Structure 1
Amino acid sequence: MDFCTITILVVISVFILTFIWNIRIPRKMKLDGAHVLITGGSSGIGKEIAKLVISRGAKVTIMARNQQKLVEAKEEIERCRRAGCSEAVVCVVADVANDAQLVEIAVREAEGSNGPVQMLVNCAGFSISGTFDDMKPNDFKSQMDVNYLGTVYATKAVMASMKSLGCGRIIFISSQAGQIGLFGYTGYSAAKFALTGLAQALQMEVKPYNIHVTLSFPPDTETPGYKAELDGKPRETVLISETSGVFQPDMVAKTIVEDSLNGRFQSWVGMDGFMLACMTCGMSPVTTVMDALSQILTASIFRLVSLFYLTHFYGVVSKCKKERDSQKKTS
């Protein structure tokens, strides 16, 4: 190598090392006695997170629309309480997508019982899968209302108390479909992609207050919502989704909670999740040296791997179309 090339490599190396040296790793948050509020906490990943945090001594509030489901979830969650603890799970009936003022009233009710919220888990969400042509305009609106605006409303409702405490954790539950646009998810992917922009901008605003945002990208998870989504799901979407497999909600919940307690910005599950997190990090903040090195060193190879995935996905879509065209001709 000539002198110019060596000089450039040295400068780049110094820049990378300086960046890594200046990474400030957040102090791990303790759950003992902390108030954790979970929207969508009556089922799925939200309920598993509630069971996990209460087993570690947290005070738990679950928020959802259905009173009966909340009561049933409350009994199940309370059975997971840490030995010696008698804190009751607080149930709050609210539709996070309905009205920002009503969500704030619901949060004030929860704080009246459990004190200021120190960890907010935005789990409320749902998906409608179908082709763009088959989706109705309201399908797009309702998914944006719940998955995006519901997160905005709940987060705004806890922000003042977190700033006054000078600490806090906020979790946004996105999806792997919020990292890559997939067949059948024109409405869902758009709503979940929006959370990335919200999370990045909000983290920059609240970091001086020692508040850390975690953006989670769960894969397909064995939940009631996932099972309901299977009805009417396009065949292309099913075949593409099989690439990552289906995970258990308790495993996903544990990963999300640990990453949030450690103040990590991105949270993922599995090797596919790791690859997507590195591929889609963009200008996301990093809070560990390992994350920084992973994103720097894997960018090229993971981009190459992603092209193989995309080729496979487009192949699935093409094959399914040919099969439908063939069936039309023979019918």
Structure 2
Amino acid sequence: NLRRAKQVAVVFLLLLWRSSYRRYAVTGGSSGIGKCIAIECYKQGAFITLVARNEDKLLQAKKEIEKHSINDKQVVLCISVDVSQDYSQVENVIKQAQEKLGPVDMLVNCAGMALSGKFEDLEVSTFERLMSVNYLGSVYPSRAVITTMKERRVGRIVFVSSQAGQLGLFGFTAYSSSKFAIRGLAEALQMEVKPYNVYVTVAYPPDTDTPGFAEENKTKPLETRLISETISVCKPEQVAKQIVKDAIQGNFNSSIGSDGYMLSSLTCGMAPVTSITEGLQQVVTMGLFRTIALFYLGSFDSIVRRCMMQRAKSEVADKTA
């Protein structure tokens, strides 16, 4: 037991040392997962650049984050900008932040939004908006820091996708598309920057109890809501802690919970692996997880059919009334 305690202490001190006095930038950092990630990093001694659109929410988040400092040298810098609209503006504010705090060691792309609805019911502008916020909102900040990271031969970029970026679900034709795009970006970028000792982590959080999730639920189709209810909702603190842990440990993939682990193994494809052990686990578990997944898919299809039948009965009843 004493030996085990010493090992745990060594690991904790190593993680603490690796993040202390590091400079982390977090987009979408004024609320939800982004704010919790900033808090988690601040607890470990990091300097934080907090990026979001709403200045009032940024200042409120800054106050919350500063309560978790471990030394008086830490700084939280707030930048109000829409990371999905104008690349030159994003590049400029990131440059200003790096002039104040120094070059960014880790960028966490957490800015995003979710809108759901049946494919033919969604406006074309919804697809454009989600692709802009979720995809380009990750491209622009990453593009703004990548050159400096390559020059310094150090850095990590974290992309926050979603479990909806691993499988498509009813009502998520616009949302899933934008989150799948993040995975493609992350995998291609990892291959480009790895020779420069710059690495990528892509996270796939499940439904998480955030203000954005509450807003999303207001317009969810019945089918989408029933499918989502088959999996429990996570706390943002839990998700943030896992993402930060995986990023600091150097993992390409970050998943939350047993469902997340299964999904990541099932959808690994040609994704990079962090270790031989990880690759072997994927090979060994693939058959079992695929079998389990088929039951999930059958259940989801059943939900969609039931909703369709109920809707048809209601329409008939309305006509005969």
TM range, smaller chain? over 0.9
Matching residue within 179, 189, 196 for 2:166: 179
Structure 2 gaps, min length 5 = 1-13
Percent identity over paired residues: 48
The residue that corresponds to 2:102 in the other structure is: 115
Superposed, 1:213-252 pairs within 5 Å as: 213-252=200-239
TM-score (norm: length of structure 1): 0.90
Q: Could you say what secondary structure the match of 1:30 adopts?
A: helix
| Native 8 Å contact 1:57 1:85 kept in 2 | no
Query: CA offsets per residue over residues 74-114 of structure 1, 9 Å max, x none?
Result: 100111111x3242310001101101111101101211221
* Residue 92 (str. 1) matches residue 96 (str. 2): no
* Residue 46 (str. 1) matches residue 51 (str. 2): no
Residue 174 (structure 1) shift: 0.2
Q: What letter is aligned with 1:76?
A: E
Matching residue within 125, 131, 141 for 1:144: 131
The residue that corresponds to 2:88 in the other structure is: 101
Structure 2 distance, partners of 1:284, 1:85, is 41
Residue 289 (structure 1) shift: 3.1
The residue that corresponds to 2:121 in the other structure is: 134
* Residue 156 (str. 1) matches residue 169 (str. 2): no
* Residue 165 (str. 1) matches residue 152 (str. 2): yes
Q: Could you say what secondary structure the match of 1:92 adopts?
A: strand
Q: Which moved more, 1:84-93 or 1:43-52?
A: 84-93
* Residue 73 (str. 1) matches residue 61 (str. 2): yes
Structure 1 distance, partners of 2:127, 2:250, is 32
Structure 1 distance, partners of 2:39, 2:277, is 29
Structure 1 gaps, min length 5 = 1-26
| Native 8 Å contact 1:92 1:106 kept in 2 | yes
TM-score (norm: length of structure 2): 0.93
* Residue 301 (str. 1) matches residue 288 (str. 2): yes
Structure 2 distance, partners of 1:136, 1:46, is 28
The residue that corresponds to 1:290 in the other structure is: 277
Structure 2 distance, partners of 1:290, 1:246, is 29
Query: CA offsets per residue over residues 116-145 of structure 1, 9 Å max, x none?
Result: 000000000001111111100000000000
Q: What letter is aligned with 1:80?
A: H
Structure 1 distance, partners of 2:74, 2:247, is 23
The root-mean-square deviation of aligned C-alpha atoms, in Å, is 1.2
Q: What letter is aligned with 1:103?
A: V
How many residue pairs match? The answer is: 304
